[in-house]
Amino acid sequence: MKIGYVQSSPIFGNKRKNFEQIEELITKKKADLIVLPELFATGYTFISRKEVDNLAEGKNGETANFLKDISKKTGAIIVGGFIEKVGDDIYNSALMILNKNIIGIYRKLHLYYKEKLWFKQGNLALNVFEIKGFKIGMMICFDWFFPETMRSLSLLGADIIAHPANLVLPYCQKAMVIRCLENRVYAVTSNRIGEEKRGSDNFLFTGASQITSYNGEVLSRAPSDELFLDFRDIKVINARNKKLNDYNDLFNDRRIDYYRL
């Protein structure tokens, strides 16, 4: 299986330009799974609810149509972030798409900083989607900070975690080594680069998108300040073996009777 990420630099509020940037990076690439950043089509640093409303869309909106087109051209399962509007509610969400079909939607469970002003907390159960014989779970950015997220997806059978992100804290890339090691799963963290200074906030995004192996090995890491994409071939069967040795199985050895979550 070939998995990879696109590391982009969104122009705030300019979906057309942001689509073009992704398309130029992906041109003629073929893969099984490609992960795009969180909110890749819109930018991140909002200053009003009206601004968020104007950029929000339904699950079959222009971002979904763009992802369907990219999936058709690459043959890949595509995961990318978007602002999802459902009635009066707005979510920081991700779509999983193959060809012209929406496979699944994930709504960010753990909102970071001022996201709490604009978005409603995710209300969909964590889920794993089996496509082409692969089992893929989704989480978004700050969800990594809560180990329960990846553990839950792993217990549901995920081989790979698709992780769109807009990271500004300097910890995630190193932490994903542990997240993958403790669950023996692969992860694709697709981050963005660039700076957004809007209102009272000035965010510098850390780039360094990453493919992390089930054994904690970093298979690919992007530069911190360049448009970038990369792919790696993996064997998903490795993520289905939770044994560290003949005596230790990471899931069977859990002492759930003694945990308080």
Measure the CA dihedral 10/15/20/25, to 10°: 40
Give yes or no: 38 in active site.
yes
The structure tokens listed for 126 are 């964590």
Question: Catalytic residue among 38, 84, 115, 196, which?
Answer: 38
Residue 23 annotated in active site: no
108 annotated active-site: yes
Residue 233 to residue 32: CA distance in whole angstroms: 9
Distance between CA atoms of residues 73 and 83, nearest Å: 24
- Which of the following is catalytic: 68, 84, 135, 141? 141
Are the C-beta atoms of residues 2 and 25 closer than 8 Å to each other?
Answer: no
> Would you give the DSSP letter of residue 254?
-
Which residue's structure tokens are 């759930």?
Answer: 256
Name the amino acid, one letter, at 163: H
Exactly one of 108, 115, 135, 180 is catalytic; which is it?
A: 108
- Of 208, 210, 250, 212, the closest CA to residue 234 belongs to 212
Q: Which residues pair with 164 in a beta bridge?
A: 190
Kindly list the catalytic residues: 38, 108, 141
